[in-house]
Structure 1
Amino acid sequence: MNRAVALRIAACGLMGLGAALLIAALLLTTYTKGKIAKIPLNLDTTLVSEGTGTAFDPASLSAEKFSVDRNVPVAMQQQMSVESPSNAEVVTLQVGTSLRRTDRQQDTGLLLAMVDTVTMNRSTALAVSSDNNPGGSVQKPRGMEDQKPPTSVALPHEGLTYRFPFDTEKKTYQMFDPIAQKPFDANYDGEEDVNGLTTYRFTQNVGYDADGKLVEPVKYASLYEDDVDSTVKARASVWGVPGEPDEEITMNRYYAAQRTFWVDPVSGTIVKATDHGYQYYARDPLKPEVTYVDYKVTSSESTIESQVASARDERDRVSLWSRVLPITFTALGLVTLIGGALLASFALRAESTLIDPGLDTADHGFFDTQGIQVPGAEAKTEKLPAQRPSDLPPDRPV
């Protein structure tokens, strides 16, 4: 194989590699991002929020009058894990949420506990359902000493729950509230920096208007069969309300909330949240009479740091496959294509010179040595002069 053929083969190889790199960059941009930008299947985290509030004292259930304490420390904890069904398209999150007074121990401090399960699309974060899966469920309450397996009741979810979609937009989303058991608007409210991460801030009102006024509270949806925690009958003296002390008064439990979410717009991760929840007993929904709990909690610093780190990891993963690699492959592809084209041109010149060396003498001189030609047939040689007869020695006959 001569040098010209080898150069031509190398040029074809380079141009083929360049084309392959450009095609790979196009596929990474248009196809791979949709496969990468999805909620991870290995979520396993605990989110903690802390604050203060006014809270009912469960120990007063057996007392002569219900007791409500003010300015007590409260903490909300959410344990999030992935359950079945989870696959390439959907993920099922099981979230155990508890709200407790931290100045009490075990049952005496527990104010709220629920285990919510939702199946959502891994790209859009929207709840999904099928014939075999209603899209969500909630566990029935159990006592601390209950050894029976937990049982769940179907609770179809709508909209978003616990996460926002990848490439979150500056608009209003429907965010499901598992306590109210229906979705409410989460409105875009601006950008804000959280630990060096630019986030979108969303606000949600459940039963409140934009000014924080109670306008349409939700009747608390009990998970007990007899609604024992949502409809309560007691004497006026026990309730601590005006009227005949022995008068039996029935009150319903109502719920309202105000929330703020700080969301990473790339991954949809909620990196920080504040939650103001209000649950109370009343005969008229808009006239609270006995507070069950009125609290405001904010994500702890450790939770914020963990969520920001998680959002950055997801950002880096998406950026690697949707930006870094496509740009790198595009640059390498263009360089390789240009290099292959130049090498192909060089190979053609070399091949033409081997076929007819004279074709190369005009201007390029491929096999010329610095442009100097030394034709052997025309090289000048030195001629020695012949001796004339008169110059011969006298004693030598002619």
Structure 2
Amino acid sequence: MKKILSYVLIVLGAAALVLAIALPIYVVPKGRVLPLNLVSTTGTNEVESNLLDSAALGQNKPLPEHANKPECRGKTPQFSCFIGTSTPLKSQRFTVGQEPSNKEEVTLEVGTTLFRTDRDEPRNLLNATIERITLDRETQMPVDEPVSTIDIQPSNAAPEQAAEPSEDFTSANEPFVRSGIQYQFPMGTDRKSYPYFDYQVLQAKDIDFVEEVEQDGEKVYHFQQTVEPTELYPNVRQMLEADGELSEVDKNSLSSLRLKFPAEQWGLERDEIHEGAASKKESEDDEDALPDVEMSRFYTVNRDIWVQPDTGVIVKGSEEIWQFYAQDQEEADEIAQPENREEEIANPERTATYFPGKWDQASMDAQMAKAKDGLDRMQTMGTVVPWILAIVGIIFLVLGFILHRRS
């Protein structure tokens, strides 16, 4: 009996030692996968922002804060008269795991909204997107298949649609291959640049490692990205036309991305008008009259993201988003020059949205709690359990050999 028991103890001890070695080397790395039941909510603090009031522009009624300015009187107030300089804005994002998901892939549905807090629903909503992204659970990168979609609402709807919000505001696009990370970094994030997908420009651009810092007692990597002024209309139109046609909802989505007004309303002198943006007024007989000028909306952002590297969880974020109108890329780049940028943000004349959003404390706490929970699981399976198994294994082996010798 002692001999049989000794064999059992030796086998169990050896198995415990093997498992103790295998857990940190093989099992734990293989277990670093995204959960199927992923859920998170993040939001920004309320912040005073610059915002084009499309309803006021559509009704040709300057905002009260500009009512006494000379350029805001008369029949054709300048474009700047409809830009609020202290509009309280917030952004919110909800992420949840959805089907199709399996042991290798997980699909995320991400809803993002930007809204003003000084108006009641539904007139407070400025824009909204619903994204569906399928990630490889092991690498945390998007799968190389055309399965990603983005549904969008018109951003600050064009003047003619601004009086009443649309009930059917989304625009469906054909599935596409998504490149770059966005809502989750790899588990085991390195100090290097990663391709980061920006759904506004529908492209991935590098986000660069800046520094290692500490947040709530944990090691955190700080990444930074700047997207230079990019015209929104071409990429958005290409996405919406991928199914072969533009629906009325699609056209509404595009309508705010290019606007045409008299040069005087843009505040332009004749020598400031670019040839490609000008169009002669059909009913104008005076050859000396200034033409209408069409401008396109450009987007730029300064983005900062803080990541807990072991779990890949984003624990803090801020985005200084700026959208403005320009006649062409050359003028957009000029407006975005530091001195001109500062002046435009302080005294907006072409701005559609300027929103310097930063995560609120509740979002940072919730995401850090998620990261710490992941770290605890890794610590338990990668260190605590292996040590326990190793000690138990050695004890079993010693007891087994002692019983074997006595038998």
TM-score higher than 0.5 here?
Answer: yes
Residue 55 (structure 1) aligned with residue 67 (structure 2): no
Contact 2:201 / 2:230 at 8 angstroms: preserved in 1?
A: no
**Residue 141 in 1 paired to residue 153 in 2?**
yes
AA of the residue aligned to 2:393: G
Change (3 A) 1:75 1:217: same
Q: Give 1:219's aligned residue.
A: 232
Tell me the SS of whatever aligns to 1:106.
coil
More helix by share: 2
Is 1:260–2:320 an aligned residue pair? no
Pick one of 125, 128, 143 that aligns with 1:113. Answer: 128
Q: Which has the higher contact order (CA 8 A, sep 6+)?
A: 2
What displacement does 1:94 show? 1.1
Cα distance, 1:240 vs structure 2: 4.0
Post-superposition Cα deviations, 1:276-302, rounded to whole Å, max 9, x if no partner, equal: 111111012214461011111111111
| Residue identity matched to 1:341 | F
Q: How does 1:1-398 map to 2 (within 5 A)?
A: 6-50=1-45, 51-64=47-60, 65=77, 66=79, 67-106=82-121, 108-130=123-145, 134-141=146-153, 146=167, 151-207=172-228, 216-220=229-233, 221-222=235-236, 225-226=250-251, 227-242=254-269, 247-283=291-327, 284-288=331-335, 290-347=350-407
Distance 1:286 1:35 in 2: 47
Tell me by how many angstroms 1:123 deviates.
2.2
Q: Is the 8 A contact 2:113 2:128 kept in 1?
A: yes
Q: For the residues of structure 1 that align with 2:257 and 2:170, how far apart are their CA atoms?
A: 24
- Deviation of residue 136 (structure 1)? 1.0
SS in 1 for 2:109: strand
User: Residues 235-277 of structure 1, C-alpha deviation per residue, up to 9 Å, x if partnerless?
Assistant: 2344344459863110011111111111111110001101111
Partner in structure 2 of residue 372 of structure 1: none
Q: Secondary structure at the match of 1:296?
A: strand
| Inter-partner Cα distance in structure 2 for 1:339 and 1:106 | 72
What's the RMSD between the two structures over aligned residues?
2.4
Shift of 1:217: 3.2
For the Cα contact (< 8 Å) 2:50–2:85, is it kept in 1? yes
1:82, distance to aligned residue in structure 2 (A): 1.4
Task: Give the 3 Å change call, closer, same or farther, for CA 339–103 of structure 1 in structure 2.
Answer: same
C-alpha distance 313-307 of structure 1, shift in aligned 2 (>3 A): same
8 Å CA contact 2:200, 2:232 repeated in 1:
no
Question: Is contact 1:280–1:293 with CA below 8 Å preserved after alignment?
Answer: yes
Contact kept, 8 Å, 2:321 with 2:355, in 1: the verdict is yes
More divergent stretch after superposition (321-330 vs 270-279): 321-330
Counterpart Cα distance in 1 of 2:15 and 2:289:
86
* 1:25-72 residue CA offsets vs partner (Å, 9 max, x unmatched): 233234322442111111222210123321111222323344111133
CA distance in 2, matches of 1:246, 1:108: 35
Q: Percent identity?
A: 29
1:321 offset after TM fit, Å?
A: 2.3
Cα distance in 2 for partners of 1:277, 1:225 equals 23
Is 1:29–1:326's contact at 8 Å kept on the other side of the alignment?
Answer: yes
| Letter aligned with residue 220 of structure 2 | T
Alpha-carbon distance, 1:81 to partner: 1.2
SS at match of 1:23: helix
Q: 92-101 or 65-74, which moves further after superposition? A: 65-74
Distance 1:245 1:228 in 2: 26
Q: Which letter maps to 2:332?
A: P
- Render the CA deviation track for 1:116-171: whole Å, top value 9, x for unaligned: 111111122211133xxx14111143795536997343242102121101011111
TM-score by length of 1: 0.76
Contact 1:217–1:286 under 8 Å retained in 2: no
Given that 1:127 and 1:161 are in contact with CA atoms closer than 8 Å, whether structure 2 keeps it comes out as: no
Asked whether the 8 Å contact 1:235–1:245 carries over to 2, the reply is no
Distance 1:315 1:327 in 2: 17
Count of residue correspondences: 331
User: 2:260 is matched by which residue type in structure 1?
Assistant: K
Moved more, 252-261 or 105-114: 105-114
Gaps in structure 1 of 5+ consecutive residues: 1-5, 208-215, 348-398
Distance in 2 separating the partners of 1:297 and 1:155: 28
Shift of 1:307: 0.6
**Which range moves more in the overlay, 227-236 or 104-113?**
104-113
Distance in 2 of aligned mates of 1:247 and 1:231: 16
Quick check: 2:6–2:403 contact (8 Å CA) kept in 1? yes
Aligned partners of 1:205 and 1:257 also within 8 Å: yes
Bigger mean CA offset, 116-125 vs 267-276: 116-125
Residues 1:236 and 1:121: Cα distance change in structure 2 (over 3 Å) = same
